[in-house]
Structure 1
Amino acid sequence: MRQDKWITIILIALLCMLQYRLWFGKNAIPDYLKLKEEVKAQSAQNQNLAQRNSLLKADINDLKIGLESIEERARHELGLIKRGETFYRIIPANND
């Protein structure tokens, strides 16, 4: 009977130690949950970057293939015009 008490006490102490390590030790449940959220955020960021990369690849392919896209970029980004063209800028009226 006395030996059964000691075994029970030892088992309860081991259970308490394991529970402590599970909740408060290194790589415990709170650490796991924090890392899980960080992985989720990093995955979302990676997805956005992958989408941006695919758009940039499409732009690169378009620039390699067609002259129209080069001309469009020159017009919009650099403000260039062809010979013989007339450039008109329409300025919106201020509504002050």
Structure 2
Amino acid sequence: MKFLTLIFVAIIALLQYPLWLGKGSWVKVWAINQQIVAQKADNVRLKLRNDTLDAEVRDLKQGYAAIEERARSELGMVKQDEVFYQVIDQIPSKPNPQPVAPPPATNVH
């Protein structure tokens, strides 16, 4: 009877091997599912970026307002006969920091 029990235990162990350690094991399925979740999150982020770029391209193709806005903000351009005023906020004065010693002079021969 012990021999028959050992045979059944061996058969069950052989049947369990592919489930836990084989090609389609639970561990590999779990790892692949984690990769799928990460890829889906990445896809959502990239889709949002692509939608933003698509909207920007449509704005640039449809009219000059977007082009003018970019020229003003990114290139600092102004229209002809337009006066540009730059307003600088007054920064409160701070106490003078400790003076920093100049670097030592090097002798060059």
Establish whether TM, by shorter chain, passes 0.5: yes
Give 2:11's aligned residue. 14
Q: What SS does the corresponding residue of 1:21 show, helix, strand or coil?
A: helix
Q: What SS does the corresponding residue of 2:40 show, helix, strand or coil?
A: helix
Give 1:56's aligned residue. 53
Q: How far did 1:25 drift?
A: 2.7
Given the alignment of the two structures, is residue 39 of structure 1 paired with residue 52 of structure 2, yes or no?
Answer: no
- CA 1:27–1:86 in 2, change beyond 3 Å: closer, same or farther? same
Q: What SS does the corresponding residue of 2:49 show, helix, strand or coil?
A: helix
In 2, Cα distance between the equivalents of 1:37 and 1:93? 53
In 1, Cα distance between the equivalents of 2:25 and 2:91? 61
Higher helix share: 1
In 1, Cα distance between the equivalents of 2:91 and 2:14? 73
Structure number with higher relative contact order (C-alpha < 8 Å, ≥ 6 residues apart): 1
Q: How far did 1:17 drift?
A: 1.7
In 2, Cα distance between the equivalents of 1:24 and 1:74? 61
- CA 1:82–1:17 in 2, change beyond 3 Å: closer, same or farther? same
- CA 1:70–1:18 in 2, change beyond 3 Å: closer, same or farther? same
TM-score by length of 2: 0.72
Pairwise CA RMSD of aligned residues? 2.1
Larger radius of gyration: 2
TM-score by length of 1: 0.81
Give the share of equivalent positions with the same residue, in percent: 40
Q: Structure 2: where are the runs of 5+ without partners?
A: 95-109
Q: Structure 1: where are the runs of 5+ without partners?
A: none
- CA 1:18–1:90 in 2, change beyond 3 Å: closer, same or farther? farther
Give 1:85's aligned residue. 82
